[in-house]
């Protein structure tokens, strides 16, 4: 599939950029919907969104660049070319935790309520972004002879369509996270559950991807980060009260 959707003069508009834009727009609408329902003023949320959007992009891009540093060390001009693909979801999440806590304090809104509104957004964004990865022909996996094997321009043969595994499974995860939001009883638990589920999914999917030598027990860097995030979420789900939690 051609990664370029259309051209305007010398400028190319890529499908990846369109899909990332759709992820951000739908994510904003979903998050705002839950924040307003849980009592946060819409104008305050809109101010927070102006902070969150660049934070998500910068955090996600930074994580991806770090995970692929040998390439970007040799091609530093590619670091800012997000239209060529390459966003690390856990980088976005870590950045959001840090900047979100600071921004929520400045706006005087409950941090965990805002955080919970992003519970359904996490799998929703993965659906769009992994579709973008598919169009770009990136994040494919190990060679396979399974009936659903696929070949991409740079794969050198038939491989696992690993990006589709994560994108497809994220669809039921989105509806599950939406149900958690609809039946929310404790602050923070919508986000933590969604993030735990998405992290476990990432660990499993990455076993179908290129292995390399691994860095810890044969695990890729992305798996190690996902494991740390999953354990962090699990611990917070088990404690009686989250830091700053109201109920």
Q: 39-69, pLDDT tens digit by residue?
A: 999 999 998 888 888 888 888 888 778 877 7
Judge whether residue 109 has pLDDT over 70. yes
Contact at 8 Å (CB) between 48 and 104?
A: yes
Which residues, 6 or more positions from 19, have their beta carbon under 8 angstroms from its beta carbon? 128, 129, 131, 132, 135
Query: CB–CB of 123/199 below 8 Å?
Result: no
Closest CA to 195 of 240, 231, 246: 231
Q: What are the angstrom distances between the C-alpha of 74 and each of 78, 151, 224?
A: 9, 27, 25
* Lowest-confidence segment of 74-78, 110-114, 237-241 by average pLDDT: 74-78
Tell me which residue has tokens 């699990």: 234
pLDDT tens track for 190-204: 999 999 999 999 999
pLDDT for 119-169, tens place per residue?
999 999 999 999 999 998 988 999 999 999 999 988 889 999 999 999 999
Question: What is the reported pTM?
Answer: 0.86
What is the Rg, in whole angstroms, of the alpha carbon atoms belonging to the chain?
18
Number of Cβ within 10 Å of residue 54's Cβ equals: 11
Whether residue 54 contacts residue 101, with contact meaning beta carbons closer than 8 Å, is answered with no
Q: How far apart are CA 189 and CA 187, in angstroms?
A: 6
């Amino acid at each position: 599939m051609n990664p370029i959707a259309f051209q305007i003069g010398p400028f190319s508009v890529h499908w990846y950029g369109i899909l990332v834009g759709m992820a951000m727009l739908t994510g904003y609408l979903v998050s705002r919907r839950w924040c307003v329902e849980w009592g946060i003023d819409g104008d305050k949320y809109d101010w927070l969104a102006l902070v969150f959007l660049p934070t998500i992009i910068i955090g996600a891009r930074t994580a991806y660049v770090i995970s692929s540093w040998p390439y970007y060390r040799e091609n530093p001009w590619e670091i800012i070319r997000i239209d060529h693909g390459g966003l690390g979801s856990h980088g976005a999440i870590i950045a959001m935790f840090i900047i979100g806590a600071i921004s929520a304090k400045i706006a005087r809104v409950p941090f965990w309520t805002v955080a919970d509104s992003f519970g359904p957004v996490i799998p929703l964004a993965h659906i769009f972004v992994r579709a973008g990865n598919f169009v770009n022909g990136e994040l494919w996996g190990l060679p396979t002879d399974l009936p659903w094997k696929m070949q991409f321009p740079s794969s050198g043969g038939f491989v696992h369509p690993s990006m589709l595994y994560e994108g497809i499974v994220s669809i039921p995860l989105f509806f599950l996270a939406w149900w958690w939001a609809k039946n929310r009883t404790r602050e923070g638990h919508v986000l933590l559950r969604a993030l735990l589920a998405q992290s476990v999914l990432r660990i499993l999917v990455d076993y179908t991807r290129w292995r390399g030598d691994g860095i810890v027990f044969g695990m890729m860097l992305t798996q190690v980060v996902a494991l740390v995030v999953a354990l962090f979420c699990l611990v917070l789900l088990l404690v009686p009260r989250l830091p700053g939690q109201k109920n």
